[in-house]
Structure 1
Amino acid sequence: MDPVTVIVAALTAGAVAGAQGTAATAVGELYSGLKALIASRFRGKPAAEAALRKFETDRETWKPVLEAELVRSRVDVDEQVVAAARRLMEVHDPSGAQAGKYRIDLRGAQGVLAGDHNVQHVTFTTPAPQQRDTPPQ
């Protein structure tokens, strides 16, 4: 998963577990720590602060706004935040973490689709032959 997806997945897992009252102590602590870390990066940015706060109770509406604010504030490249999100997901979903679900390296990749339940249609074509710019002999 890309960093934004991991961060949002971790925030979702923590919020859902907390709302259902099923948050194990470790997940709850990791979630609180991740939220505090992100909030510190969002400090002084009202739109980002609001997105983080409102995401907890209305994830569907606020997810795209939160994702945009994570990128705009460069939180998605903050190693400490990404590591905290991955740690939460390792505790929340140990089998997924062990399978490498939250550690995908996409450097240099093109046409990539990462995540669950995605569909991608790819059409390969043969490139047209290139013409030479050399004069006839």
Structure 2
Amino acid sequence: MDPVSLVVGALAVGLSETVTSAVQDAYAGLRDALVRKLSRDRGEDGAAEQAVQALEVQAADPESLRTSVSAAGLATDEQILAAAQRVLQAADPAGARVGKYVVDLREAKAVQVGDNPTMTVNF
């Protein structure tokens, strides 16, 4: 799973109305990590909280959310990626056991990870 998909998936799962308390707790950790990252980037907690709320609203539109997560640099922050993995692990323990939510793209170029992806690469 690529880092952007990891964060987007965790946001979508965490906002679902049918999550367990373990997923809710993991999502609270992800949300806190997002606020911390955006506070550092934007310089104030209020703006960061509003930005996270905007991301949560975008969860209904995955492509828009992917664009926002990518543009904000959220998928490059190790704390956010770890928190997102915890959300998905809590939501899908079987997938976590087989490594579905492991992201390691060191020195990767034109990598595609995930279920049913398509890609065009021009170097």
Normalising by the smaller structure, the TM-score range is 0.7 to 0.9
**Structure 1 residues not aligned, in runs of 5+:** 123-137
Change in 2 beyond 3 A, CA 1:121/1:56: closer
The answer to which structure has the higher helix fraction is 2
Contact map agreement 1:51 1:65 (CA 8 A) in 2: no
**Structure 2 residues not aligned, in runs of 5+:** none
RMSD over aligned Cα atoms: 2.4
Larger Rg: 1
- How much identity, in percent, do the aligned residues show? 36
Aligned counterparts, 1:1-137, within 5 A: 1-16=1-16, 20=17, 22-43=18-39, 45=42, 46=47, 49-59=49-59, 60=61, 62-63=64-65, 64-69=67-72, 71=73, 75-120=74-119
Contact map agreement 1:38 1:81 (CA 8 A) in 2: yes
For 1:52 and 1:36, the matched residues in 2 are separated by: 9
Counting matched residue pairs gives 113
Return the structure number with greater relative CO, CA threshold 8 A, min gap 6: 2
Dislocated runs of 4+, deviation >6 Å: none
TM-score by length of 1: 0.68
For 1:37 and 1:112, the matched residues in 2 are separated by: 26
Give the superposition deviation at 1:102.
Answer: 1.1
TM-score by length of 2: 0.75
Q: Which residue identity is paired with 1:57? A: V
For 1:54 and 1:87, the matched residues in 2 are separated by: 22
